[in-house]
Amino acid sequence: MNTISKSECADPAHGELAGKVAMVTGSTSGIGLGIAQALASAGVNVVLNGFGDAAGITRIHNELEQSFGARTIYSAADMSMPGDIKGMVEAARKTFGKVDILVSNAGIQHVEAIETFPPAKWDAIIAINLSAAFHAIRAVVPEMKARKWGHIINIASAHALVAAPFKSAYVAAKHGVAGLTKSVALEVAEHGVTVNAICPGYMLTPLVQKQIPETARARGSPKSWS
């Protein structure tokens, strides 16, 4: 697990975020964890979500609270299930009273040629990488508009802009995230709510590590990858 000290992340310019509440999906590892740490360092209370064993999640919870003084809760919500997403938002409101910042970061990947790409994998990737962002945004926008303040950040990908072979579902989902971001941004701009997408390139996260051998197999590289 990455660790970030308060001195490395704290930024006086972010003082206005102190006391805000952020919900970060897929925040138990990789990019999502880094975002959760940065927000906590700015005084933001964080709703964590993602995969992981209980001990690892407890370590993340303790680090954020002890290192940065942030309050955190964890939701095991399955991002492919709209009811779970609604429940996570309700849990955030029950604990903190609101959701000021939504970061939709959860994602999965599968790499395979289109003719053998499993339909179940397509459905899961679209659900988690795209539809989950829609359901989460839909749940938090009314309160953000009512308060005239809110930030929605969708973690897209370089693949929201440029395609790659053997990633049909992932590329389609991330292009969809870019379009969703643009549409919602236009809807809520006059209500004090911002909506942005971030399109990172390759970073050595668990998601990327897993797809290296998958991509090699899809390209017909030597069996030593398997």
Residues with a catalytic annotation lie at 170
User: DSSP assignment of 66-128, as one string?
Assistant: HHH---EEEE---TT-HHHHHHHHHHHHHHHS---EEEE---------GGG--HHHHHHHHII
Output the six-digit token pair for 211: 């797809």
Of the candidates 72, 23, 77, the residue with the CA atom closest to the CA atom of residue 50: 77
Instruction: Please tell me the distance from the alpha carbon of residue 7 to that of residue 14, in angstroms, as a whole number.
Output: 13
Between the alpha carbon of residue 200 and those of residues 23, 160, 161, 205, the distances in Å are: 20, 10, 10, 12
Distance from C-alpha of 24 to C-alpha of 94, rounded to nearest angstrom: 16
The span from the CA of 121 to the CA of 2, in Å, is 29
SS3 per residue for 78-89: CCCCHHHHHHHH
